[in-house]
Structure 1
Amino acid sequence: MNNNKNSGIRQGVTGVTSTVGNLTGGLLHTVGGAVGTVGRGIGGTINNTTGTKIVGDGLATVTTGVEDGVHVVGKGLEDAGKYPGK
């Protein structure tokens, strides 16, 4: 009987954790994608305006790195609510 109670509590906590993780992870994916897209766009504009690729490509590389890092963190948060067997 005690195992059933613990199992129910665990499922409830896991459900909340999973929901929060999925929400936060999804938001981070959105923010990361926006940062990467904006950085690449501004980088392309700088390249076309100045005629040099160093600054624009550098900005695009940095923002793409931020985007990739945020996606990794977001995926980790989404996975946080999962438990073995789910």
Structure 2
Amino acid sequence: MNNKNNGVRQGVTGVTSTVGNLAGGLLGTVGGAVGTVGRGLGGTINNTTGTKAVGDGLAYVTNGVESGVNSVAKGVEDAGKAPGK
């Protein structure tokens, strides 16, 4: 009976790990895109207007969003991992 329960637990862990990795990967992609777009727009604003305050502020905010989303993505991926792995 113990082997059967262990097999079920491993199967469930495999599914949750796959779903967690997929969701974490997608979140990481979105976070990276937000950060990249923000830095690009920030640089464009700085170069166009000649002032750094607005462009740097935008880049700062989107870098924060990127960092936060990446932390959540890592947590989602870690949640599906089997204990001790």
TM-score by length of 1: 0.94
The one-letter code sitting in structure 1 at the alignment partner of 2:81 is K
State the superposition RMSD in angstroms.
0.8
What's the CA shift string for 1:36-77, capped at 9, x where partnerless?
000000000001111111110000000000000011011111
Q: Does 1:23 align with 2:30?
A: no
Q: Does 1:14 align with 2:13?
A: yes
Matching residue of 1:82: 81
- Structure 1 residue runs without a partner (length 5+): none
**Could you tell me how far apart the structure 2 residues matched to 1:84 and 1:11 are?**
11
Q: How many residues align?
A: 85
Q: Quote the sequence identity (%).
A: 82
Q: Does 1:62 align with 2:52?
A: no
Structure 1 runs of 4+ with >6 Å offset: none
Which residues in structure 2 correspond to 1:30-69 (within 5 Å)? 30-69=29-68
TM-score by length of 2: 0.95
